[in-house]
Amino acid sequence: MIAYEEFIKRKTPIDVPTGFEPSKIEFTRPLFDFQSDVVKWSIRRGRAALFEDCGLGKTAQQLAWARHVEDQGPVLILAPLSVAEQTVREGEAIGVDVAHIHDDAEAVEQLNIGRSIHICNYEKLHRLNPDRYKGVVLDESSILKSYDGKTRTRIIDAFRATQFKLACTATPAPNDYMELGNHAEFLGVMKREEMLAMFFTHDGGNTSQWRLKGHAEDIFWKWLCSWAVNIRKPSDLGYDDGAFQLPELKMHQHVVEAHQAMDGYLFALPASSLQERREARKCSLPERVAKASEIANSNDDQWIAWCNLNSESEALAKCIRGAVEVTGSDSEEYRDKVVKGFLSGEVRVLVSKPSIFGFGLNFQHCHKQLFVGLSDSYEQFYQAVRRCWRFGQKNIVDAHIVISNLEGAVLANLQRKEADAKRMAESMVKHMAEISSREIRGVRRDSTAYNPNIKIKIPSFLTQ
């Protein structure tokens, strides 16, 4: 009879490694110690998620992962628009050859000449044949929660049979269990519905509000650590933060007086609802653009001007000296051209939306930002800030937020969400740090012992 503790241990859900022992590969630009160990761990896992804060080098890690898996077969990296070319350049810097493809015909062409690491935009997944690939990487894998259910399902189904999988995104909110469940399902660890049934319960009639079962909390975090690593900085895993200690981030708030009242109001009153806030942004457009232009035109520094409305983007491009606007309707080629111009200094001010350039791009050469039209999405705001405030930034980052007196609590809402996100991230790291550090720094290979003790019985019809 087995001991009760052993019985419970056997019942604990742990994702069994399906990877392989990585060979020694020399990269042109060596990885940091924590990056190298995370890559080795993820290769041994075979299917893993890297929940790492912005600027910790997820691109270099996913490229190193792809280079190892390439020995097993072709690898596909899926990335947001405008990130593909940046990844190709990053690959050149560390000595990993990456081919930017747009459809299956180009994939075949590149495979025929021996290039087996490919990158493509998510929007072109339907043009590819996923069965060609032995491994797949989701860059900015928060796409699993950000897009509609149809897109999420298409990604999961397309790579259900892919042997090696890696998902990379900034630290997810610990209370966004749907995001964690989507990652687990993509990786083939466990279906989202199974995860919710095993570890969670919902309060009242609102089935979208899930909370961990009290007795399942420790088991849940141990299960998560068996296939995911979560860090905000290297010291979370016991490494030295070193160059990853960022300079100061200064937030400057500018409140302008709107002179036009919202439709249906005699006087200019603060907005209270989401619809009213959107209307307030339209009413205060001239004043906000004038203030933002004054700030950006006061020096010759490079700036990123983030906006939320097309009218804001158009007005800013007209009023700010040396500004170039990028909209959702612009071609991929034009976006890449503007990004290269901004990186080289040819473009002084980049005007766009967080939904277009707010994810994945490295703009640490710039340390001045304008926010002219805040949405209620903290994730978009945070990601936009981190385009500049990330590893490699040498200067204090100044983020100027220009809002009107009509926009009510939009800034307060973002600040509240920021405090909640920080508190939740700290909680998540607290639960996972010790286990993750032991797994990653030890880079040990787990295995499930097989001890047969029952003889196989062959059916009689097979022996005749």
Coil, helix or strand at residue 251: strand
Q: How many other CB atoms sit within 10 Å of the CB of residue 279? A: 18
Domains and CATH numbers, the chain: 12-242 (3.40.50.10810), 246-416 (3.40.50.300)
Mean pLDDT along residues 390-419: 82
pLDDT given for residue 99 in this prediction: 97
pLDDT of residue 440: 77
Alpha helices in 17-99 (DSSP H): 33-45, 58-69, 84-94
> Crossing angle for the helix pair 192-199 and 177-187, nearest 10 degrees?
130
Question: Which has more pLDDT, 377 or 315?
Answer: 315
DSSP state letters, 133-187:
-SEEEEETTTHHHHS-HHHHHHHHHHTTT-SEEEEEESPPPTT-HHHHHHHHHHH
117-131, 137-151, 167-181, 221-235: which is most confident = 117-131
Q: How confident is the model at residue 341 (pLDDT cuts 50, 70, 90)?
A: very high
Name the strands in the sheet holding 349-352, side by side, starting at the edge strand that comes first in the sequence. 249-256, 397-404, 368-372, 303-307, 349-352, 323-325
35 pLDDT above the threshold of 90: yes
Using pLDDT thresholds of 50, 70 and 90, give the confidence band for residue 269. Answer: very low
Which of the pair, 335 or 413, is modelled with greater confidence?
335
**What was the pLDDT predicted at 316?**
95
pLDDT-derived band at 128 (thresholds 50, 70, 90) equals very high
Asked if the model's pLDDT at residue 172 lies above 70, the reply is no
What's the pLDDT at 1?
47
Whether 366 shows a pLDDT value over 90: the answer reads yes
Name which of 74, 83, 128 is nearest 102 in CA terms: 128
Closest CA to 338 of 327, 352, 358, 324: 324
How does DSSP assign 374-395, residue by residue? --S-HHHHHHHHTTTSSTT--S
- Provide mean pLDDT across the span 423-428: 69
Paired sense of beta strands 210-212 and 200-202, if any = antiparallel
pLDDT, residue 463, reads 60
- Percent of the chain with pLDDT strictly greater than 90: 48
Lowest mean pLDDT among 3-7, 16-20, 252-256: 3-7
> Alpha-carbon distance 436 to 445, whole Å?
13
What is each CA distance from 106 to 74, 119, 358, 372, in whole angstroms? 14, 11, 28, 40
- Asked if residue 118 lies in contact with residue 75, where contact means CB atoms within 8 angstroms, the answer is yes
**Please, are residues 287 and 259 in contact by the beta-carbon 8 Å criterion?**
yes
Asked if pLDDT for residue 442 goes beyond 50, the answer is: yes
Q: Is residue 120 pLDDT above 80, yes or no?
A: yes
Q: Percent of the chain at pLDDT above 70?
A: 80
Note whether 208 and 196 are within 8 A (CB).
Answer: no
**What residues contact residue 357 under an 8 Å CB cut-off, 6+ apart?**
82, 304, 326, 339, 350, 387
> Above 70 in pLDDT, residue 42?
yes
Contacts with 301 (C-beta within 8 Å, 6 or more apart), sequence order: 348, 366, 367, 368
Contact in structure between 431 and 230 (CB atoms under 8 Å) = no
164 within 8 A of 19, measured Cβ to Cβ = yes
pTM of the entire structure?
0.81
92-110: average pLDDT: 96
DSSP assigned state of 256: E
At 446 the pLDDT is: 43
Q: List residues bridging with 256 in a β-sheet.
A: 404
Indicate the pLDDT class of residue 108, thresholds 50, 70 and 90: very high
Whether 166 contacts 48, CB under 8 Å: yes
29: left (phi over 0), alpha (psi -120 to 50) or beta: beta
Mind listing the pLDDT tens digit for each residue in 370-392? 999 877 777 888 889 999 999 88
pLDDT tops 90 at residue 102: yes
Give the chain's mean pLDDT.
83
